[in-house]
Chain A
Amino acid sequence: MKYLYVYPEKCTGCRECSIACSLTKFGECNPKKAAINIVRDEFNRYEFPIVCFQCDDPVCLKFCHQNAYEIKDGVIIRDEDRCIGCRLCAVLCPYNAVTTIDDEIIKCDLCGGDPMCVKYCSTEAIQYLDETEELEKRRKKMAERFLEINKGL
């Protein structure tokens, strides 16, 4: 199974990933309307890509009272027809990986196996790789690091 792995040390903050995502999904260039977000602060000197970790035990799925989420081939997919737009998933996701804007709920679906964010990143700060034990460790580490940054936000 392939997942997205982020490398914040390579991220330059440019947001081509987010803009490519919004352009693909909504036909507009809008880094705030994307499944991948770059948390960046040039004064406190960090750039951090935030994207759905496709958790093993996802809270978005677990607490959705409409059962709008399901796991398909290891990817957590939101069913737009079932979803009533209550945004509980966005509120509960500890990684801020579910985006809500303009009445839209945006959650990464890995673009069906050809993630646009990866294609348009110029520094390989986000990569789509076969899951390995080492990569999984890295993913957990990134999740912890994000939670740390998030505390300070």
Chain B
Amino acid sequence: MLDKKLGIIDLSKKKVTIKQTHNSLKKLFLGGRGLNSYYLYKMIKPNTDPLSPNNVLIFGTGFLTGTLVPNSSRFNVSAKSPETGILGDSNCGGYFAAELRYTGFDRLIIQGKSKKPCYLYITDNNIEIKDANDYWGMNTTDVQQNLRKDLGHVETACCGVAGENLVRFACVRTGVKNAAGRCGLGAVMGSKNLKAIAARGTQGIKVVHPEEMLETVEQLKEYIMNSKITSILGTVGTPLLYEVSNTLGAIRTKNSQLNAWSDSLNAEVIETFVDKMIGCSSCIVHCRHRNKLGGEGPEYTALGLLGANLGIKDPAHVIELSNICNELGLDISSSGTILGWAFELYEKGIIDKKITGEELHFGDFELVKSLLYKISRREDFGNILAESTRNVKRFGKASEDYLIAVKGLPQSDPHDVRYIKAFALGIATSSRGADHLRSRPTLEIFLNLPQEVRDRIYGKGVPGDPTSYKGKEKTVYFSDNIFATIDSLGICKFICHGFNSPHFVDYTWMKKLIHCASDWTFKEKDIQEVGKRIIDIERMFNNREGISRKDDTLPKRYFDDPMPLKIAKGHHIDRKEFDNLLSRYYKLRGWDNDGQVKKERVKEMEALT
């Protein structure tokens, strides 16, 4: 359990060093995202160019990844983001992370740049840097299948053609559709000439109390399986959220000019394209659709951002676009947001054919398809779109008013956050930019949640009304902390307390699971400190890169344009109320009024070893 090693690979020097992360650090940050963020802060100098050899790329598995603990399949890929220039971090499921642990490693830190295309081959206690000439240029499925043909049944994390071509929103892929999607980490792989990491191991994870783990997991499994949300997620997956958002009038449509879209993308329609629902390693929810069009998915994000946001109604078209993004290794969230932005700018005349080289409009499947290929190869207008939100400079100041992004990261959640105020605060303050998987207090959608349950989770003073700003800093604070912790344990958010359900894995369950694996005795409040520590060190990284209060904001449209349709009609974010909410959030975090981690805390954190 605690014997897993840290592999440090310098691709410039072709040197592999094998070390171990001290238990003292594991107690402070657990693993996964937490330890990755710790190492990023320690190892990356401020103002480093994310696509230079000086960037550090980390693949880190969670503390419990690969064990019997339900849904413990996850790892985090982290580096400085080429899309945003701040902390880049992305969490991913599948089978790669468990396999990496079975080789005897729990984390790989990759530095430098290989002269020629290479891949890493990880076997029991061994890391080899190998020539990837034969695999360069392959899409993500081909490279993984070819590595299996050549090496046997390896599990692989790789970049696609988009990553090779340094598209700033290229993702890291494993399996058919699992992705460390956000922040352009596939481009960091490309910049290092690193095509893939293939792992195959036979070493188990020895837990300290096997019987206790068997018993605890049996109870936890029963508890989770008895929830209605588990069986719904296991039947239709995340597409169920599309209808939830759409009914409210909160589906980002045509670059958020509208807020509702077609019922043709509802879960019941998507279900007809499903061959079989499958799971990641140790998963008991199995929300992954193996679709009839040759791939996996679509997720809610794809339905929203490659469907509604681009004006596309046909579910088969959306699924095909989702499959294409996965093959090319493009982040679906950024792809759909950047394309929607460009389409509106063209319609408004802010950009024209001189830049685009062709006509742009919403609702054109063939156009989107051809642009996705062009982006991945950096051809024609695709070469410009590949620069993501940095195009504000090229497209002109006026273009910024229509960009649905925060801190340079296009918004991932297809949910238009003008109605639910806590969601707005969440994407404004998340450590990687506009993203819902850092702190989305999803329970805000559950209008019938009893007040006593709300009080128990978030503390008193949080009204059930999602349009109220009152006390909403508490919902984001709670979610940000617990999601950071679950990411560090390597457990999927789908069974995290407060994500999809007011039940599931809370600090008490975490305490039990950590104990049976490692014999460490944590109190609930010790584990809560882990989450706070992670959020602080990520903020320290971002503060060092110049992030402050001015950056914790929202797209202009969310403030100034009221939503036009359905229940959410008329709602927008009030600047003054938002500003007050942000101040209250900082106070709760213990940050100063400019959103900086206070000096004493920085000192305390930097002294941690």
Q: B445 near A: Cβ within 8 Å?
A: no
Does B281 lie within 8 Å of A30, measured CB to CB?
no
Smallest distance from the beta carbon of A49 to chain B beta carbons, Å? 13
List chain B residues, Cβ under 8 A from A30: 102, 202-205
Q: A24-B210, A27-B206 are in contact. Are A19 and B282 (CB under 8 A)?
A: yes
| A122-B284 in contact (CB<8A) | yes
Contact (Cβ within 8 A) A13 B279: yes
* Segment 19-33 of A: residues with Cβ below 8 Å from B: 19-20, 22-24, 26-33
* Residue A88 interfacial (CB < 8 Å): no
- The reply to whether B279 and A14 form a contact with Cβ atoms under 8 Å apart is yes
Chain B residues near A33 (CB-CB < 8 A):
202, 204
Residue from the list A9, A19, A26, A102 in contact with B68, Cβ < 8 A? A19
Q: Number of residues in A with C-beta < 8 Å to the partner?
A: 30
The proximity string for A residues 31-44 relative to B, scoring 1 for CB distances below 8 Å and 0 otherwise, is 11100000000110
A24 to chain B, nearest CB (A): 7
B280 to chain A: closest residue by CB: A14
Contact of A14 with B281 at beta-carbon distance under 8 Å, contacts A28-B206, A29-B66 already known: yes
Contact of B176 among A32, A42, A101 (CB under 8 A): A42
Question: Cα distance A19–B144 when bound, in Å?
Answer: 24
A150 at the interface (CB under 8 A from B): no
- Which residues in B have their C-beta under 8 angstroms from that of A9? 276
- CB-based contact B204/A15 at 8 Å: no
CA separation between A16 and B281, bound complex, in Å?
Answer: 8
Contact B68 A29 (CB under 8 A): yes
* Complex partner residue of A47 from B206, B278, B280, CB under 8 angstroms: B278
B69-86 interface with A by 8 A CB criterion: 70
Partner of A23, one of B141, B176, B210, B225: B210
Q: Which residue of B lies closest to A19 (CB)?
A: B68
Q: Does B145 contact A (CB under 8 A)?
A: yes
Are A12 and B205 touching (Cβ within 8 A)? no
CB–CB A26/B204 < 8 A: yes
Q: Is B207 an interface residue (CB 8 A)?
A: yes
The answer to whether A12 touches B176, judged by C-beta atoms less than 8 angstroms apart, is no
Asked whether, in the complex, the Cβ of B283 is within 8 Å of the Cβ of A14, the reply is yes
Chain A stretch 26-72: residues in CB contact (< 8 A) with chain B = 26-33, 42-43, 45, 47
Q: In whole angstroms, how far apart are the Cα atoms of A31 and B282 in the complex?
A: 10
Bound complex: CA A151 to CA B203 (Å)? 27
Closest residue of B by beta carbon distance from A153:
B153
Given the interface pairs A14-B281, A32-B202, A33-B204, the reply to whether A24 lies near B214 with Cβ below 8 Å is yes
Residue of A nearest to B290 (CB): A45
- A82 on interface, CB distance cutoff 8 Å: no
Please measure, in the bound complex, the distance between the C-alpha atom of A51 and the C-alpha atom of B411, giving whole angstroms: 46
Is A132's beta carbon under 8 Å from chain B?
no
B68, B205, B225 — which one has the most chain A CB atoms within 10 A of its CB? Answer: B68
How many B residues touch A, CB cutoff 8 Å? 39
B221:A102 contact, CB within 8 angstroms: no
Q: Are A43 and B141 in contact (CB under 8 A)?
A: yes
Flag if A23 contacts B207 (CB, 8 Å). yes
Tell me the smallest distance from the CB of A33 to a CB of chain B, in Å. Answer: 6
Please tell me if the beta carbons of A16 and B284 are within 8 angstroms of each other in the complex. Answer: yes
User: Please, which residue of chain B has its CB at the minimum distance from the CB of A39?
Assistant: B153
Residues of the B chain whose Cβ atoms lie less than 8 Å from the Cβ of A28: 204-207, 210
Query: What chain B residues lie within 8 Å of A29 (beta carbons)?
Result: 66-68, 204-205, 207
Alpha-carbon distance between A57 and B379 when the two chains are bound, in angstroms? 64
**A116-B214 Cα distance, complex, nearest whole Å:** 9
Q: Which of A14, A116, A119 contacts B286 (CB 8 A)?
A: A14
Whether a CB of chain A sits under 8 angstroms from the CB of B538 is: no
CB distance from A112 to the nearest CB of B (A): 15
Chain A residues whose C-beta falls within 8 Å of the C-beta of B214 in the assembled complex: 20, 23-24, 116
- In whole Å, how far is B476's beta carbon from the nearest beta carbon of chain A? 32
**Contact mask for chain B residues 211-228; partner A; CB cutoff 8 A; 1 contact, 0 none:** 001100110010001000
Chain B CB within 8 A of A146 CB: no
Q: How far is the CA of A16 from the CA of B69 in the complex (A)?
A: 9
In Å, the complex CA distance between A116 and B206 comes to 18
Report the bound CA distance from A9 to B276 in whole Å: 8
- Taken together as a complex, chains A and B put the C-alpha atoms of A16 and B148 apart, in Å, by 23
Closest partner residue, chain B, to A33 (CB atom): B204
How far is it, in angstroms, between the C-alpha of A120 and the C-alpha of B217 when the chains are bound?
9
| B275 close to A45 (CB less than 8 A) | yes
**CB-based contact A27/B210 at 8 Å:** yes
Q: Is the CB of B308 closer than 8 A to any CB of chain A?
A: no
Shortest C-beta distance, A144 to chain B (Å), equals 21
- Selected from B66, B68, B144, B204, the residue in CB contact (under 8 A) with A20 is B68
Q: When the two chains form their complex, are residues A102 and B206 in contact, meaning their CB atoms are under 8 A apart? A: no
The answer to whether A123 and B67 touch across the interface, beta carbons within 8 angstroms, is no
Residue in chain B with minimal CB distance to A122: B284
A12-B68 in contact given A30-B203, A120-B221 (Cβ < 8 Å): no
Write out, one digit per residue, whether chain B residues 418-442 have a CB within 8 A of any chain A CB (1) or not (0).
0000000000000000000000000
Question: Is B282's CB under 8 angstroms from A122's CB?
Answer: no
B239 CB contacts on chain A under 8 angstroms: none
B106 near A: Cβ within 8 Å?
no
Known contacts A122-B221, A122-B286, A12 near B278 by CB under 8 Å = yes
Q: What 6 new A-B contacts, CB under 8 Å, besides A23-B207, A116-B214, A120-B68?
A: A14-B284, A15-B281, A22-B204, A32-B204, A33-B204, A120-B218
Q: Across the A-B interface, give the 7 residue pairs with the lowest CB-CB distance, nearest first.
A: A30-B204, A28-B204, A12-B279, A122-B284, A14-B279, A12-B286, A27-B210
> Please, could you name 13 A-B residue pairs with CB atoms under 8 Å apart, sorted by A?
A13-B279, A14-B284, A15-B281, A16-B282, A16-B284, A24-B214, A28-B207, A30-B205, A31-B98, A33-B202, A43-B144, A45-B276, A116-B214
Interfacial residues, chain B to chain A (CB-CB below 8 A): 66-68, 70, 98, 102, 141, 144-145, 148, 175-176, 202-207, 210, 213-214, 217-218, 221, 225, 275-284, 286, 288, 290, 296
